[in-house]
Amino acid sequence: MSDTDWARADDWEQAWQPLIDSIGTDFSPAGKDAIDAIEKGAIRKYVEPLEMDCPIFVDEDVAKAHGYEGIPAPTSGISQTWIETGIWTADRDPAWPTNDRDATPPRPPAAGDAIEPPSPPTSAAFATDIEIEYHRDAYVGDRLTSSGNRLISCLPKQTSVGRGAFQIYESYVHNQAGELIATVRRGLYSYVPFE
């Protein structure tokens, strides 16, 4: 018997009830610090391939002339680039422990209190949508912290690719002063593909 056999049952939606009962739960409330403070050079490397040419991202005088505290980081990177935790640091195991062709580095250590959501086993998933609400700017020199994995919704649904559920999880980004920078909601569909 496979651990994904729940998807073959007539009442397969019932497998998602424990997760539905957990709506509102934050499965990872502790924060993870970005590996670096935001650097001016990192912003240059971020905006260059995007041809993002607004001078407030590179010129402190221009930024301050328009009321910014310093050079702001493009807020589009707040939910990813500016909260990167790095692939490897000296206190972690080797990033690539094998020479396999498609070896991928392990995910960085989860925050200490993170727990797995009580969802049934699935073998595939894809991101569906992302919503980000920006509350304030982050600046060169700020070191951001990402926290939270709060379940907002769970909707079991059979689609053209399999049986699973659409879920939305919410997380938060703060600066070193504890000020909320952004609220991030990520949607995903995790499922068992049809055979």
Positions in the binding site for other proteins (CB under 8 A): 42, 44-52, 54-56, 58-59, 61-62, 65-67, 74-77, 79-81, 84, 87, 101-102, 104-105, 127-134
Question: CB-wise, 74 or 162, nearer to other proteins?
Answer: 74
CB 79 → other proteins: shortest distance, Å?
8
CB 18 → other proteins: shortest distance, Å?
28
Question: CB-wise, 15 or 148, nearer to other proteins?
Answer: 148
For every residue of 91-117, which 3-state class applies, written as one string?
A: CCCCCCCCCCCCCCCCCCCCCCCCCCC
CB 130 → other proteins: shortest distance, Å?
6
Cα gap 135→191, rounded to integer Å: 33
What's the sign of the alpha-carbon dihedral 138, 76, 181, 137?
Answer: positive
Cα gap 52→159, rounded to integer Å: 38
Question: CB-wise, 18 or 86, nearer to other proteins?
Answer: 86
Beta 124-134 vs 162-174: how paired, if at all?
unpaired
Cα gap 8→191, rounded to integer Å: 12
CB 45 → other proteins: shortest distance, Å?
4
Question: CB-wise, 15 or 144, nearer to other proteins?
Answer: 144
